[in-house]
Chain A
Amino acid sequence: MIEGILIGLTTALTFQNILMVMVGCFFGTIIGMLPGLGPMTAIALMIPITYGFDPATGLILMAGVYYGAVFGGSTSSILLNAPGVPGTVATSFDGYPMAQQGKAGKALAIAAWSSFAGGTLSAIYLLFMAPSLSKVSLSFRSPDYFALMILGLTAIAAFSSKGQFLKAMMMVVLGLMLASVGQDSLSDITRFTFNNMNLTDGISFVLVVMATFAMSEALTIILKRNDPTSAAKQVSLTELGSIKINKEERTKMYKTIPRSSVIGFLIGVLPGAGATIASFLAYGMERNVVSDEEKEKFGKGSVNGLSAPETANNAACSGSFVPMLTLGIPGSGTTAVMLGALLGFGVQPGPRLYMTNPEIFWSIIMSMYIGMVILLILNLPLIPYIARILAVPKNYLIPLILFFSVTGIYVMSFNNFDIYLMIGIAVVATFLRLYDFPMPPLILAFVLGGLMEENLRRSLLLSNGSWEFLWDRTLTACILATTILIVVWHIYKTFKKKN
């Protein structure tokens, strides 16, 4: 492992790669800070830029963007009470009241230090866990992979749906349908192409991500421009107050950070769960653990209440890389986008990535940590300036997002059809968003669709067309049983809430 860490460090610490982490963190922070735009949009917008790099550098850039965007999301939660992503909603519970009390600078500093500590601790957990999990995952066979993907899709639908499991599952099916367009990998038959040559190779992943995230988010912002509920209540962006944290606050953070980072990381590793659940759970747990006196302060600007979700949020981000890097199965929408980008580079993540491309595997882990350090060095002193970006008028923001999306597709395919298709999908996605259909399940299903079909067909071939492979191996049966448990638990929970 020491050798691996050194390989990772040598790759990550080249001038170019450090520059990439810095650029990534910077742009990620800016994009993540803009209300409505989250890490997925930030990463999607960066994809065209990464075409010019080798896989390791490209991924390092994306990791930087990811962390930057998560941090940026916290900034808008604290200053505007307008979380850019669901993962930072819990941050606004105590961060925004703090900002209203004139301690916005302090709230941002606590958030930055907690994110840093959470990220650092989880990068260490990842360092120890990923290689051993890679070895375990070598024993996985096609039926297990198929079952695991079903589990991932069910879990993301169950966890990201905000009480609308059916809608989330519909999005999963839509994602799988989009993934099945094009030439079939085994028999070379073209499917759902309507005799259109442009669809023979299937729909590009970048196109779907750009359309469902970047573009449709931009269109939604315009569409809801006059919506009174979406108008942000603003804290003064010029008077943020001191960013110094005193001794008492530090002592509180020392206790909160370790426990929240463990929760965050473990939740992040689970497929489908991710940062949102991690931050809410950590917030809830922290509230139960602290003294009665501190409990009273929750929701009114508590240091523990701000530190816990921020730590867990960032720890979960690192945790979500575990299934992506070791099993090749992304657990969240964001890692799904990263997986798509990896496949685009010709790198097949999975247990073998650890052996065949150790430099990629380790440099991603190392660059995550470097990203954390840079984020702290870069963002903490710049907070007052960065905060002003929040005042960017939408009149400029929206056309720029559309321009980045179209450019992304243009440099990839030089094809008008793809641009039309992207606009079409974006319009449909905008309407789906309007009716609260969640997008992450669609992306995850779209990315996993091809792999899932491949594993299913391979399993069926090996078992001579019999479906017995679903329960032949204990591992497969266990994973499928967990899937069924999730569905049953979800139905039970829905009914309990409804009555």
Chain B
Amino acid sequence: MQDYFFSGLKLILPDLNTIKVEHKSLEYKKTGILILIAIIYGATILKVGYFLTTSLFLFVSYYFLGERRWILMFLLSFPFVAAFMYLLHGILDIYLRDPFLQSIGVMG
């Protein structure tokens, strides 16, 4: 029954532009690694804390995507996240959980 239904639909509403995906030219490996890093980031963000995991996530991702300008990579991770945290937590009063910063006494 379903087969007839879907074949019918396909007949009434044909695709005008058939898509051909060139799998060979796609960067599966890099995308996969990035997804993996994001999963690790998601798994550790609550336990370790926002600041450290986010900064590391950004730094490692820049590296895996082929970036090697170390100073810029650093500036756009640790100080950048600190500034962003200050904006969210300090100015906009949005709670951010960070056991790491709490343990070293930076965050109340």
Contact = CB atoms under 8 A, between A and B. Distances in A.
Nearest to B23: A434
B105 interface: no
B92 A416 contact: no
A393 B69 CA distance: 12
A219 interface: yes
Instruction: Give the interface centre of B13, B30, B58, B67 by most chain A CB atoms within 10 Å.
Output: B13
B46 to A, nearest CB: 6
B26 A399 contact: no
A249 B35 CA distance: 50
A398 B62 CA distance: 9
B67 A395 contact: yes
A489 interface: no
Contact of B17 (A52, A226, A436): A436
Given A396-B76, A399-B61, A416-B42, A223 B14 contact: no
A223 B28 contact: yes
Interface in A88-145: none
Nearest to A415: B46
Contacts of A228: 25
Interface in A185-234: 219, 222-228
Interface in A380-415: 393-396, 398-400, 402-403, 406-407, 410-411, 414-415
Interface in B1-52: 9-10, 12-17, 19, 21-22, 25-28, 30-31, 34-35, 38-39, 41-43, 45-46, 50
B14 A498 contact: yes
A427 B35 contact: yes
A403 B58 contact: yes
Given A395-B65, A434-B21, A163 B16 contact: yes
Interface in B57-108: 57-58, 61-62, 65-67, 72, 76, 84, 88, 92-97
A61 B58 CA distance: 26
B58 A163 contact: no
A166 interface: yes
Contacts of B65: 222, 394-395, 398-399
B62 A395 contact: yes
A165 B19 CA distance: 14
A410 B17 CA distance: 39
B31 A164 contact: no
Contacts of A497: 16
A42 B38 CA distance: 20
Contact of B15 (A164, A226, A394, A490): A164
Given A222-B65, A398-B34, A427-B35, A163 B17 contact: yes
A223 B16 contact: no
Nearest to B44: A416
Nearest to B17: A163
Given A165-B13, A399-B62, A436-B17, A414 B97 contact: yes
Interface residues of A, number: 49
Contact of A164 (B9, B16, B25): B16
A162 interface: yes
B61 to A, nearest CB: 4
A406 B42 contact: yes
B17 A223 contact: no
A226 B25 contact: yes
A490 B16 CA distance: 12
Contacts of A52: 88, 92-94
Nearest to B10: A166
B95 A411 contact: yes
Contacts of A15: none
A402 B58 CA distance: 9
A415 B97 CA distance: 11
A229 to B, nearest CB: 9
Nearest to B61: A399
B97 A393 contact: no
A463 to B, nearest CB: 27
A226 B42 contact: no
Contacts of A395: 62, 65-67
B94 A222 contact: no
A490 to B, nearest CB: 8
A444 B60 CA distance: 35
B38 to A, nearest CB: 6
Contacts of A162: 16-17
Nearest to A50: B92
Interface of A: 48-49, 51-53, 162-167, 169, 219, 222-228, 393-396, 398-400, 402-403, 406-407, 410-411, 414-416, 419-420, 423, 427, 430, 434-436, 490-491, 494, 497-498
30 contacts: A52-B92, A163-B17, A164-B16, A164-B17, A165-B13, A166-B10, A222-B27, A222-B30, A226-B25, A228-B25, A395-B65, A395-B67, A396-B67, A396-B72, A398-B34, A399-B58, A399-B65, A402-B57, A410-B50, A411-B88, A411-B95, A414-B46, A415-B46, A416-B46, A419-B42, A423-B35, A434-B21, A435-B19, A491-B12, A498-B14
Complex A-B, nearest 6 residue pairs according to Cβ-Cβ distance, in ascending order: A163-B16, A419-B42, A52-B92, A399-B61, A166-B13, A395-B65
Given A398-B61, A402-B57, 14 more contacts: A52-B88, A162-B17, A165-B13, A167-B15, A396-B62, A399-B34, A399-B61, A406-B38, A406-B42, A410-B45, A411-B95, A420-B42, A423-B39, A497-B16
Interface of B: 9-10, 12-17, 19, 21-22, 25-28, 30-31, 34-35, 38-39, 41-43, 45-46, 50, 54, 57-58, 61-62, 65-67, 72, 76, 84, 88, 92-97
